[in-house]
Amino acid sequence: MKTITSIRELQSTLQSEKLKGKTIGFVPTMGYLHEGHLSLLQKARTENDIVVLSIFVNPLQFGPNEDFDSYPRDYQHDENLAKDNSVDFIFYPTKEEMYPNELTASVVVHKRINVLCGRKREGHFDGVATVVTKLFNIVMPHRAYFGMKDAQQVAVIEGLIKDLNMPITIVPCETVRENDGLAKSSRNVYLSEKERDEAPTIYQSLQMAKSEILEGETSPLTIIHSITEHITKFTSGTIDYVEIYSYPELKLIEKLRGRIVVAVAVKFSKARLIDNITLTIPE
Protein backbone atom coordinates (compact mmCIF):
# COMPACT_ATOMS: atom_id res chain seq x y z
CA MET A 1 0.00 0.00 0.00
CA LYS A 2 1.25 3.47 -0.85
CA THR A 3 0.12 6.86 0.43
CA ILE A 4 0.22 9.60 -2.19
CA THR A 5 -0.31 13.26 -1.37
CA SER A 6 0.33 14.78 -4.79
CA ILE A 7 -2.42 14.97 -7.44
CA ARG A 8 0.11 14.73 -10.25
CA GLU A 9 1.77 11.63 -8.79
CA LEU A 10 -1.55 9.86 -8.23
CA GLN A 11 -2.71 10.68 -11.75
CA SER A 12 0.44 9.33 -13.38
CA THR A 13 0.52 6.23 -11.16
CA LEU A 14 -3.12 5.36 -11.91
CA GLN A 15 -2.70 6.17 -15.58
CA SER A 16 0.03 3.55 -15.91
CA GLU A 17 -2.11 0.99 -14.04
CA LYS A 18 -4.96 1.68 -16.47
CA LEU A 19 -2.62 1.25 -19.43
CA LYS A 20 -1.91 -2.23 -18.08
CA GLY A 21 -5.68 -2.88 -18.31
CA LYS A 22 -6.33 -2.66 -14.57
CA THR A 23 -9.75 -1.58 -13.29
CA ILE A 24 -9.92 1.02 -10.54
CA GLY A 25 -12.38 1.08 -7.66
CA PHE A 26 -12.54 4.31 -5.66
CA VAL A 27 -13.80 4.97 -2.14
CA PRO A 28 -13.86 8.71 -1.36
CA THR A 29 -13.99 9.50 2.37
CA MET A 30 -13.26 12.21 4.90
CA GLY A 31 -11.36 9.70 7.03
CA TYR A 32 -11.89 8.52 10.59
CA LEU A 33 -12.80 5.22 9.02
CA HIS A 34 -15.43 2.97 10.58
CA GLU A 35 -16.96 -0.32 9.51
CA GLY A 36 -19.28 1.48 7.10
CA HIS A 37 -16.23 2.66 5.12
CA LEU A 38 -14.58 -0.74 5.44
CA SER A 39 -17.58 -2.42 3.83
CA LEU A 40 -17.17 -0.04 0.85
CA LEU A 41 -13.46 -0.90 0.63
CA GLN A 42 -14.24 -4.62 0.79
CA LYS A 43 -16.81 -4.35 -1.98
CA ALA A 44 -14.38 -2.30 -4.08
CA ARG A 45 -11.71 -4.95 -3.46
CA THR A 46 -13.91 -7.75 -4.82
CA GLU A 47 -14.89 -5.81 -7.96
CA ASN A 48 -11.66 -4.11 -9.08
CA ASP A 49 -7.94 -4.73 -9.65
CA ILE A 50 -6.84 -1.56 -7.87
CA VAL A 51 -8.51 0.06 -4.85
CA VAL A 52 -7.97 3.75 -4.16
CA LEU A 53 -9.12 5.33 -0.89
CA SER A 54 -9.14 9.11 -0.54
CA ILE A 55 -9.04 10.83 2.83
CA PHE A 56 -9.80 14.52 2.65
CA VAL A 57 -11.94 16.61 4.98
CA ASN A 58 -13.42 18.90 2.38
CA PRO A 59 -13.85 22.46 3.72
CA LEU A 60 -16.20 23.34 0.85
CA GLN A 61 -19.01 21.16 2.17
CA PHE A 62 -19.06 22.58 5.72
CA GLY A 63 -21.07 25.68 6.57
CA PRO A 64 -19.54 28.45 8.74
CA ASN A 65 -21.20 27.07 11.90
CA GLU A 66 -20.53 23.42 11.18
CA ASP A 67 -17.92 21.03 12.57
CA PHE A 68 -15.06 21.35 10.04
CA ASP A 69 -12.44 22.11 12.72
CA SER A 70 -13.67 19.48 15.17
CA TYR A 71 -14.43 16.81 12.55
CA PRO A 72 -12.62 13.71 13.88
CA ARG A 73 -9.28 13.01 12.18
CA ASP A 74 -6.84 10.16 12.85
CA TYR A 75 -4.59 9.37 9.92
CA GLN A 76 -2.62 6.58 11.65
CA HIS A 77 -5.82 4.73 12.55
CA ASP A 78 -7.09 5.13 8.95
CA GLU A 79 -3.79 3.97 7.45
CA ASN A 80 -3.81 0.79 9.59
CA LEU A 81 -7.39 -0.02 8.59
CA ALA A 82 -6.64 0.66 4.92
CA LYS A 83 -3.68 -1.73 5.09
CA ASP A 84 -5.82 -4.43 6.76
CA ASN A 85 -8.39 -4.03 4.00
CA SER A 86 -5.92 -4.39 1.12
CA VAL A 87 -6.15 -0.83 -0.20
CA ASP A 88 -3.56 -0.20 -2.92
CA PHE A 89 -3.33 3.59 -2.74
CA ILE A 90 -4.41 6.15 -0.17
CA PHE A 91 -4.82 9.62 -1.63
CA TYR A 92 -4.23 12.00 1.28
CA PRO A 93 -3.93 15.53 -0.08
CA THR A 94 -3.59 18.74 1.91
CA LYS A 95 -6.12 21.53 1.59
CA GLU A 96 -3.50 23.48 -0.39
CA GLU A 97 -3.03 20.60 -2.82
CA MET A 98 -6.78 20.37 -3.48
CA TYR A 99 -7.55 24.09 -3.39
CA PRO A 100 -4.33 26.00 -4.18
CA ASN A 101 -6.25 29.10 -5.33
CA GLU A 102 -9.65 30.58 -4.87
CA LEU A 103 -11.86 28.55 -7.22
CA THR A 104 -12.54 29.94 -10.67
CA ALA A 105 -15.25 27.36 -11.30
CA SER A 106 -17.27 24.96 -9.19
CA VAL A 107 -20.24 22.62 -9.45
CA VAL A 108 -23.70 23.88 -8.55
CA VAL A 109 -26.40 21.29 -7.87
CA HIS A 110 -29.91 22.32 -8.92
CA LYS A 111 -32.11 19.44 -7.89
CA ARG A 112 -32.49 16.94 -5.02
CA ILE A 113 -31.00 19.46 -2.58
CA ASN A 114 -33.80 21.50 -1.01
CA VAL A 115 -34.98 18.58 1.11
CA LEU A 116 -33.56 16.43 3.92
CA CYS A 117 -30.02 17.50 4.96
CA GLY A 118 -29.68 19.87 2.01
CA ARG A 119 -32.50 22.14 3.16
CA LYS A 120 -30.62 23.61 6.11
CA ARG A 121 -27.10 23.05 4.81
CA GLU A 122 -26.98 25.70 2.13
CA GLY A 123 -24.19 25.03 -0.35
CA HIS A 124 -23.35 21.67 1.23
CA PHE A 125 -24.10 19.60 -1.87
CA ASP A 126 -22.35 22.12 -4.14
CA GLY A 127 -19.28 21.49 -1.97
CA VAL A 128 -19.74 17.72 -2.16
CA ALA A 129 -20.34 17.77 -5.94
CA THR A 130 -17.32 20.01 -6.51
CA VAL A 131 -14.91 17.86 -4.50
CA VAL A 132 -16.33 14.61 -5.90
CA THR A 133 -15.90 15.96 -9.45
CA LYS A 134 -12.31 16.94 -8.65
CA LEU A 135 -11.62 13.54 -7.07
CA PHE A 136 -13.20 11.71 -10.03
CA ASN A 137 -11.07 13.76 -12.46
CA ILE A 138 -7.96 12.94 -10.42
CA VAL A 139 -8.63 9.21 -9.90
CA MET A 140 -10.72 8.50 -13.02
CA PRO A 141 -12.10 5.32 -11.47
CA HIS A 142 -14.24 2.70 -13.20
CA ARG A 143 -16.42 2.39 -10.11
CA ALA A 144 -16.98 4.60 -7.05
CA TYR A 145 -18.52 3.35 -3.81
CA PHE A 146 -20.85 5.35 -1.56
CA GLY A 147 -22.83 4.38 1.54
CA MET A 148 -26.62 4.61 1.42
CA LYS A 149 -26.64 6.13 4.91
CA ASP A 150 -26.19 9.36 2.96
CA ALA A 151 -29.01 8.53 0.54
CA GLN A 152 -29.34 12.17 -0.52
CA GLN A 153 -25.63 12.33 -1.32
CA VAL A 154 -25.96 9.18 -3.46
CA ALA A 155 -28.98 10.71 -5.28
CA VAL A 156 -27.06 13.95 -5.92
CA ILE A 157 -23.96 12.13 -7.16
CA GLU A 158 -25.99 9.84 -9.41
CA GLY A 159 -27.58 12.96 -10.93
CA LEU A 160 -24.15 14.58 -11.32
CA ILE A 161 -22.69 11.55 -13.13
CA LYS A 162 -25.64 11.30 -15.45
CA ASP A 163 -25.94 15.00 -16.26
CA LEU A 164 -22.21 15.56 -16.77
CA ASN A 165 -21.73 12.25 -18.61
CA MET A 166 -18.97 11.00 -16.34
CA PRO A 167 -18.00 7.46 -17.39
CA ILE A 168 -18.08 6.09 -13.84
CA THR A 169 -20.37 3.51 -12.26
CA ILE A 170 -21.71 4.59 -8.88
CA VAL A 171 -22.10 1.63 -6.53
CA PRO A 172 -24.49 2.43 -3.66
CA CYS A 173 -23.76 0.20 -0.65
CA GLU A 174 -26.03 -0.79 2.21
CA THR A 175 -25.74 1.04 5.54
CA VAL A 176 -23.62 -0.86 8.06
CA ARG A 177 -25.10 -1.00 11.55
CA GLU A 178 -24.11 -1.76 15.11
CA ASN A 179 -25.70 -4.90 16.60
CA ASP A 180 -28.48 -2.76 18.05
CA GLY A 181 -29.27 -1.20 14.66
CA LEU A 182 -27.57 2.18 15.06
CA ALA A 183 -26.05 3.22 11.73
CA LYS A 184 -22.24 3.40 11.97
CA SER A 185 -21.02 6.99 11.72
CA SER A 186 -17.90 8.97 12.59
CA ARG A 187 -20.19 11.24 14.58
CA ASN A 188 -21.39 8.48 16.96
CA VAL A 189 -18.33 9.21 19.14
CA TYR A 190 -19.96 12.51 20.14
CA LEU A 191 -22.93 10.75 21.83
CA SER A 192 -23.15 10.64 25.62
CA GLU A 193 -23.69 7.21 27.21
CA LYS A 194 -27.41 7.92 27.64
CA GLU A 195 -27.77 9.18 24.08
CA ARG A 196 -25.92 6.15 22.74
CA ASP A 197 -28.47 3.93 24.52
CA GLU A 198 -31.32 5.89 22.98
CA ALA A 199 -29.93 6.22 19.47
CA PRO A 200 -31.03 2.76 18.15
CA THR A 201 -34.61 4.07 18.47
CA ILE A 202 -34.04 5.87 15.16
CA TYR A 203 -33.61 2.63 13.23
CA GLN A 204 -36.39 0.93 15.20
CA SER A 205 -38.75 3.70 14.11
CA LEU A 206 -37.73 3.17 10.46
CA GLN A 207 -38.31 -0.57 10.78
CA MET A 208 -41.74 0.09 12.29
CA ALA A 209 -42.51 2.39 9.38
CA LYS A 210 -41.41 -0.29 6.94
CA SER A 211 -43.79 -2.81 8.52
CA GLU A 212 -46.67 -0.33 8.42
CA ILE A 213 -45.99 0.41 4.74
CA LEU A 214 -45.68 -3.26 3.83
CA GLU A 215 -48.95 -3.92 5.66
CA GLY A 216 -50.64 -1.48 3.30
CA GLU A 217 -50.35 2.03 4.76
CA THR A 218 -50.14 4.44 1.80
CA SER A 219 -50.14 7.84 3.50
CA PRO A 220 -46.72 9.50 3.94
CA LEU A 221 -48.17 11.74 6.67
CA THR A 222 -49.35 8.79 8.77
CA ILE A 223 -45.89 7.19 8.56
CA ILE A 224 -44.15 10.48 9.36
CA HIS A 225 -46.42 10.91 12.37
CA SER A 226 -45.72 7.45 13.78
CA ILE A 227 -41.92 7.82 13.36
CA THR A 228 -42.04 11.24 15.03
CA GLU A 229 -44.06 9.91 17.95
CA HIS A 230 -41.74 6.96 18.52
CA ILE A 231 -38.53 9.01 18.46
CA THR A 232 -40.01 11.74 20.66
CA LYS A 233 -41.18 9.17 23.20
CA PHE A 234 -37.99 7.15 23.46
CA THR A 235 -35.13 9.64 23.01
CA SER A 236 -33.98 12.94 24.49
CA GLY A 237 -33.00 14.08 20.99
CA THR A 238 -34.75 16.73 18.95
CA ILE A 239 -36.14 15.74 15.59
CA ASP A 240 -34.62 17.74 12.78
CA TYR A 241 -36.69 16.08 10.08
CA VAL A 242 -38.73 13.01 9.24
CA GLU A 243 -39.38 13.06 5.51
CA ILE A 244 -40.51 10.73 2.74
CA TYR A 245 -39.77 11.22 -0.98
CA SER A 246 -39.56 9.36 -4.24
CA TYR A 247 -36.04 8.04 -4.72
CA PRO A 248 -33.66 9.08 -6.24
CA GLU A 249 -35.63 12.12 -7.52
CA LEU A 250 -36.39 13.27 -3.97
CA LYS A 251 -39.80 14.60 -4.94
CA LEU A 252 -42.80 14.86 -2.61
CA ILE A 253 -45.33 12.09 -3.06
CA GLU A 254 -48.96 11.95 -2.03
CA LYS A 255 -49.19 8.19 -1.94
CA LEU A 256 -46.54 5.64 -1.00
CA ARG A 257 -45.69 3.72 -4.16
CA GLY A 258 -42.69 3.03 -6.38
CA ARG A 259 -39.21 3.54 -4.96
CA ILE A 260 -39.20 5.75 -1.89
CA VAL A 261 -36.82 6.91 0.83
CA VAL A 262 -37.93 7.37 4.44
CA ALA A 263 -35.32 9.54 6.13
CA VAL A 264 -34.76 10.87 9.63
CA ALA A 265 -32.35 13.31 11.30
CA VAL A 266 -32.19 13.68 15.08
CA LYS A 267 -30.11 16.16 17.02
CA PHE A 268 -28.51 15.04 20.27
CA SER A 269 -26.43 17.34 22.46
CA LYS A 270 -23.23 17.11 20.38
CA ALA A 271 -24.21 14.92 17.44
CA ARG A 272 -26.78 15.05 14.71
CA LEU A 273 -27.59 11.54 13.49
CA ILE A 274 -29.16 10.65 10.17
CA ASP A 275 -30.61 7.39 8.96
CA ASN A 276 -32.95 6.17 6.25
CA ILE A 277 -34.45 3.20 4.50
CA THR A 278 -35.29 2.87 0.82
CA LEU A 279 -38.18 0.66 -0.23
CA THR A 280 -39.87 -0.29 -3.45
CA ILE A 281 -43.62 -0.52 -3.13
CA PRO A 282 -45.43 -2.18 -6.03
CA GLU A 283 -47.69 0.23 -7.96
Residues annotated as part of the active site: 37
Classify residue 96 by burial, with Cβ atoms within 10 Å: 0-12, 13-18, 19+: exposed
* Contact call for residue 29 and ligand PAF (CB under 6 A): yes
Q: How far is the CB of 49 from ligand PAF (least distance, A)?
A: 22
Q: How far is the CB of 30 from ligand PAF (least distance, A)?
A: 4
Instruction: Give the residue, chosen from 24, 128, 223, 242, that forms a contact with ligand PAF under the rule CB under 6 A.
Output: 128
Q: How far is the CB of 58 from ligand PAF (least distance, A)?
A: 4
* Contact call for residue 277 and ligand PAF (CB under 6 A): no
Q: How far is the CB of 65 from ligand PAF (least distance, A)?
A: 18
Instruction: Give the residue, chosen from 58, 133, 201, 278, that forms a contact with ligand PAF under the rule CB under 6 A.
Output: 58
* Contact call for residue 28 and ligand PAF (CB under 6 A): yes
- List the beta bridge partners of residue 174: none
Among positions 60-79, residues that touch ligand PAF (CB under 6 A) are 61
Binding residues for ligand PAF, rule CB under 6 A, total: 10
- Cα 62 to chain centroid distance, Å, stands at 14
Cβ(41)–Cβ(53) under 8 Å?
yes
* Contact call for residue 39 and ligand PAF (CB under 6 A): no
Cβ(235)–Cβ(191) under 8 Å?
no
Per-residue b or e along 66-85, where b marks 16 or more CB atoms closer than 10 Å to that residue's CB: eeeeebeeeeeebbebbeeb
Among positions 142-161, residues that touch ligand PAF (CB under 6 A) are 150, 153
Measured distance CA(36)–CA(177) in Å, rounded? 8
For 156-248, strand residue ranges (E) read 169-173, 238-246
Q: Spell out the residues 6+ positions from residue 91 whose beta carbon is closer than 8 angstroms to its own.
A: 4, 5, 10, 52, 53, 54, 55, 56, 135, 138, 139
Cβ(205)–Cβ(239) under 8 Å?
no
Q: Which stretch, 23-31, 38-46, 167-175, 243-251, contacts ligand PAF (CB under 6 A)?
A: 23-31
Q: How far is the CB of 134 from ligand PAF (least distance, A)?
A: 10
* Contact call for residue 278 and ligand PAF (CB under 6 A): no
Q: Which residues bind ligand PAF (CB under 6 A)?
A: 28-30, 58, 61, 128, 131-132, 150, 153
